[in-house]
C-alpha cells in the first residue's frame, strides 16, 4: 500500500512540475510573439523616414530601433510584415530561446550586399542592341535620382534596330530607371529584345549589374524576362501602347526575410522568391532566408524584413507608399535603452501613443485561466506528496511497539546494532526510493503525452508543446519529493535505538 501511495503521489508531482514548466515556456513564447522587445512603444510619426531618423537620433547607441508594421490578409490569415532596422536588431529586440549573437546573425542576413551603385553625371551614353519592335515607335528615356533624392526624367532618343548609342546630358546623381515609352498611344502590341551593352557618363563606366540589379515595371498584359550577369538582356512582350520600365535597383531584387508560417503566395519563382504587398501599393519580391517557429512581434504568421531595403525597394519600382491607415509605426527598445526615450522621441517629433513591455504581457498571461488551472495541478502534487508522507509516518508508528520487541530480540541474539540500523535504512530506501523515482518518471512521461491536448496559454486554444526541459529543475523537484518522504527514515532508525535488551525484561 505504501509503494502504491508513494508512486501515485510522486507521479502527480512529476506531472504537475512538467506541465507548469511547459506552460511557462509557452507563455514566454506567446508573449514574445506578441511583443518583440523588452519595451514596445506604439508611436505616430510623419513618415517612415522621419521615424528612422528620429529613433537614430534618440538612441544613438542602437538600443532602440524603428519598426514599420503592415498587417496583410492572405488566405484567411493575417500576415504581419515587420520592417526593422537590422543593424540595431541585436540590441533592441528580444527573441525567445535565441541569444543576442543569433539576433545579430539575423540582422546581417536581412541586410545582404546591395547591387553596385550606378552613379552618372554630365553626358550619359547608353549603348543598346535592339531586335524587334517593328512598326512600334518607342522612345528611350531614363530617370536620374539626383543628390536631393528627386527623380529627373531625360530623353535619349527614338529606339532603333541594331546596335546604337543614345546620349543625353544628365545632372549629378544615380541612374534610377531606363524607360521604353510608346509614342503611339493605343497602338499595336510590341515585342522584341533589348540588350544593354554599355552605360557611361562623365563619372566613367557605370556597372550594368545583370538581371539581379534590375526589376521590370510593366502594366498588366505585358511581360519582361531579364537574363544576363554582366550585361542585361530584356525579352519584352508589351501590350498595345504599353510602356516598359526597367528599374535600376538599390536593394536586393528579392528581400530576404525571417519567416514564421507558410510562404504567403501561391506562385514561387525558380529562385525561391515570391511577390507580396508590403511597404507600398505594388508587390515586392521576398525570399525566405530563414524560417523559425517564432518571429518577434509577429503574433503568429509573419515575416521580419530590413526596413531600409523595404522602403528603397518601394521607391525603386515607383510604388506609392502604403495608405496611412494600413501601416503602424513602433519603436522597439531593448533593456539598455535610455530611460527618457519617450521624451527624446517627442523632441524628434515622434509621439508615443501607448507602451507595452514584455514582462507585463507575460504577467497577464500568467493570470489567465490556463495558468491558474496549472497552479492547481502543482498544488495537488504538493498535497499528494504531503499526504504520502503522512501515510508513511503513520505506517512507521503503527506497529512500532512490536518492531521494537523484534529488534531487541535480534540484539539479544547477537546481531550488531549497526547492522540493524543499516537494514532499516535499506528497507525504507527500497520502500520509498524506487516508487518515488518510477512514479516521478511516469508523471513526466504522462505530461509529455497529454499536454499537446491541454490549453497552455489561452482558454480553448491548444498549441504545440515545444518544451526544452531543464534537467536540473526536474532533478531538484524529484529530490524534494524524495526528501519529504525520507523524513520517515529517522523515525524508523529511532526504533533501533529504542530496542534495548531491557525492553524484553519490561524495564523500558
Burial of 119: CB neighbours in 10 Å, binned 0-12, 13-18, 19+ = middle
Residue 285 phi, psi (nearest 5) = -100, 135
Residue 407: per-residue pLDDT: 59
Question: What mean pLDDT comes out for the span 234-240?
Answer: 88
35 within a domain of the structure (yes/no) = no
Q: What percent of the chain stands above pLDDT 90? A: 47
pLDDT digits (tens, 9 = 90+) for 40-72: 999 999 999 999 999 999 999 999 999 999 999
Residue 248 phi, psi (nearest 5) = -85, 115
Q: Is the pLDDT of residue 126 over 90?
A: yes
Question: Residue 404 forms beta bridges with which residues?
Answer: none
Residue 153: per-residue pLDDT: 94
CA dihedral 325, 327, 330, 332 (to 10 degrees): 160
pLDDT digits (tens, 9 = 90+) for 266-297: 778 777 899 999 998 888 999 999 999 999 99
Cα separation, 239 vs 318, in Å, equals 20
Which residues touch 490 (CB under 8 Å, ≥6 apart)? Answer: none
Residue 84 phi, psi (nearest 5) = -130, 155
Do 498 and 394 share a domain, yes or no?
Answer: yes
On whether the CB atoms of residues 371 and 23 are closer than 8 A, the answer is yes
Residue 242: per-residue pLDDT: 85
pLDDT higher for 148 or 344? 344
- Of 50-59, 130-139, 454-463, the range with the lowest mean pLDDT is 454-463
Do 94 and 216 share a domain, yes or no?
Answer: no
Say how many domains are in the chain: 3
Count of helices and strands (H, E) across the chain: 13, 19
Of 228, 248, 268, which marks where a domain is finished? 248
Residue 425: per-residue pLDDT: 67
- Residue 150's CATH number: 2.60.60
- Of 195-204, 219-228, 234-243, 421-430, the range with the lowest mean pLDDT is 421-430
- Of 129-138, 336-345, 385-394, the range with the lowest mean pLDDT is 385-394
* 3-state SS class at 481: helix
Do 494 and 378 share a domain, yes or no?
Answer: yes
Question: Residue 158 forms beta bridges with which residues?
Answer: 139
Banded model confidence at residue 310, pLDDT cuts 50, 70, 90: very high
Question: What mean pLDDT comes out for the span 400-412?
Answer: 60
359 within a domain of the structure (yes/no) = no
356 within a domain of the structure (yes/no) = no
Residue 220: per-residue pLDDT: 83
Residue 131: per-residue pLDDT: 92
The overall average pLDDT reported for the chain is 84
Residue 492: per-residue pLDDT: 56
* 3-state SS class at 155: strand
Residue 413: per-residue pLDDT: 66
Cα separation, 472 vs 310, in Å, equals 45
Residue 469 phi, psi (nearest 5) = -65, 145
Which domain does 383 fall in, by range? 2-29+364-504
Residue 432: per-residue pLDDT: 72
Question: What mean pLDDT comes out for the span 246-264?
Answer: 93
Question: What mean pLDDT comes out for the span 478-506?
Answer: 59
Give this prediction's pTM.
Answer: 0.81
| CB-based burial, 244-261: b 16+ in 10 Å, e otherwise | bbbbbbbbbbbbbbbbbb
412 within a domain of the structure (yes/no) = yes
Cα separation, 401 vs 422, in Å, equals 20
Question: What mean pLDDT comes out for the span 370-382?
Answer: 79
In the structure grid, which three cell numbers stand for residue 149, read together?
A: 533624392
39 within a domain of the structure (yes/no) = no
Cα separation, 400 vs 94, in Å, equals 60
Half-sphere exposure of 468 (CA within 13 A, CB side): 7
Q: Is the pLDDT of residue 496 over 60?
A: no
Q: How far is CA 398 from the centre of its chain?
A: 60
41 within a domain of the structure (yes/no) = no
Which residues touch 316 (CB under 8 Å, ≥6 apart)? Answer: 176, 215, 247, 248, 249, 250, 251
34 within a domain of the structure (yes/no) = no
* 3-state SS class at 200: strand
Cα separation, 22 vs 16, in Å, equals 10
- DSSP class of residue 111 equals S
Residue 186: per-residue pLDDT: 58
Residue 416 phi, psi (nearest 5) = -60, 145
Of 248, 268, 290, which marks where a domain is finished? 248
pLDDT digits (tens, 9 = 90+) for 178-215: 999 987 765 677 788 999 999 999 999 999 988 999 99
Of 349, 378, 399, which marks where a domain is finished? 349
Closest residue by Cα to residue 257 from 232, 208, 291, 300: 291
Question: What mean pLDDT comes out for the span 459-484?
Answer: 65
Do 376 and 482 share a domain, yes or no?
Answer: yes
Residue 388: per-residue pLDDT: 75
177 within a domain of the structure (yes/no) = yes
Q: What percent of the chain stands above pLDDT 70? A: 82
pLDDT digits (tens, 9 = 90+) for 420-451: 666 666 776 777 777 877 888 888 888 888 87
- CA-only gyration radius of the chain, Å: 36
Do 166 and 129 share a domain, yes or no?
Answer: yes
Amino acid at each position: 500500500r505504501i509503494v502504491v501511495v508513494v508512486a501515485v503521489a510522486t507521479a502527480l508531482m512529476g506531472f504537475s512540475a512538467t506541465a507548469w514548466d511547459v506552460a511557462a515556456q509557452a507563455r514566454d513564447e506567446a508573449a514574445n510573439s506578441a511583443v518583440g522587445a523588452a519595451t514596445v512603444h506604439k508611436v505616430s510619426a510623419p513618415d517612415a523616414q522621419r521615424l528612422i531618423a528620429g529613433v537614430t537620433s534618440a538612441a544613438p547607441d542602437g538600443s532602440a530601433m524603428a519598426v514599420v508594421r503592415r498587417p496583410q490578409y492572405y488566405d484567411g490569415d493575417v500576415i504581419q510584415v515587420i520592417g526593422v532596422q537590422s543593424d540595431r536588431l541585436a540590441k533592441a529586440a528580444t527573441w525567445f530561446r535565441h541569444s543576442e549573437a543569433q539576433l545579430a546573425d539575423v540582422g546581417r542576413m536581412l541586410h545582404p550586399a546591395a547591387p553596385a551603385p550606378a552613379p552618372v553625371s554630365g553626358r550619359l551614353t547608353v549603348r543598346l542592341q535592339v531586335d524587334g519592335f517593328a512598326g512600334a515607335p518607342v522612345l528611350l528615356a531614363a530617370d536620374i535620382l539626383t543628390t536631393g533624392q528627386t527623380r529627373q526624367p531625360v530623353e535619349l532618343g527614338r529606339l532603333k534596330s541594331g546596335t546604337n548609342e543614345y546620349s543625353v546630358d544628365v545632372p549629378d546623381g544615380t541612374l534610377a530607371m531606363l524607360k521604353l515609352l510608346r509614342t503611339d498611344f493605343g497602338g499595336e502590341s510590341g515585342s522584341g529584345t533589348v540588350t544593354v551593352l554599355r552605360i557611361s557618363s562623365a563619372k566613367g563606366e557605370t556597372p550594368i549589374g545583370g538581371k539581379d540589379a534590375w526589376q521590370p515595371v510593366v502594366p498588366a498584359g505585358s511581360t519582361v524576362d531579364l537574363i544576363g550577369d554582366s550585361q542585361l538582356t530584356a525579352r519584352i512582350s508589351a501590350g498595345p501602347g504599353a510602356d516598359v520600365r526597367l528599374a535600376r535597383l538599390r536593394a536586393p531584387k528579392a528581400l530576404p526575410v525571417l519567416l514564421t508560417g507558410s510562404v504567403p503566395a501561391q506562385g514561387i519563382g525558380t529562385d525561391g522568391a515570391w511577390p507580396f504587398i508590403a511597404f507600398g501599393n505594388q508587390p515586392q519580391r521576398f525570399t525566405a532566408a530563414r524560417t523559425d517557429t517564432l518571429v518577434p512581434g509577429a503574433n503568429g504568421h509573419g515575416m521580419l524584413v530590413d526596413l531600409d531595403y523595404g522602403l528603397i525597394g518601394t521607391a525603386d519600382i515607383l510604388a506609392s507608399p502604403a495608405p496611412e491607415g494600413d501601416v503602424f509605426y513602433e519603436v522597439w527598445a531593448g533593456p539598455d535603452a535610455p530611460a527618457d526615450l519617450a521624451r527624446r522621441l517627442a523632441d524628434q517629433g515622434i509621439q508615443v501613443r501607448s507602451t507595452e513591455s514584455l514582462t507585463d504581457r507575460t504577467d497577464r498571461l500568467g493570470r489567465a485561466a490556463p495558468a491558474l488551472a496549472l497552479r492547481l495541478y502543482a498544488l495537488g502534487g504538493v498535497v499528494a506528496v504531503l499526504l504520502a508522507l503522512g501515510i508513511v509516518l503513520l505506517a512507521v508508528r503503527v506497529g512500532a511497539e512490536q518492531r521494537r520487541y523484534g529488534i531487541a530480540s535480534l540484539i539479544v541474539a547477537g546481531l550488531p546494532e549497526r547492522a540493524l540500523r543499516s537494514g532499516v535504512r535499506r528497507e525504507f530506501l527500497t520502500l520509498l526510493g524506487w516508487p518515488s523515482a518510477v512514479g516521478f518518471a511516469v508523471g513526466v512521461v504522462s505530461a509529455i503525452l497529454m499536454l499537446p491536448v491541454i490549453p497552455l496559454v489561452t482558454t480553448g486554444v491548444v498549441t504545440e508543446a515545444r518544451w526544452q526541459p531543464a534537467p536540473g529543475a526536474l532533478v531538484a523537484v524529484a529530490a524534494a519529493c524524495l526528501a519529504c518522504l525520507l523524513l520517515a527514515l529517522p523515525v524508523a532508525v529511532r526504533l533501533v535505538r529504542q530496542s534495548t535488551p531491557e525492553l524484553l525484561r519490561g524495564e523500558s
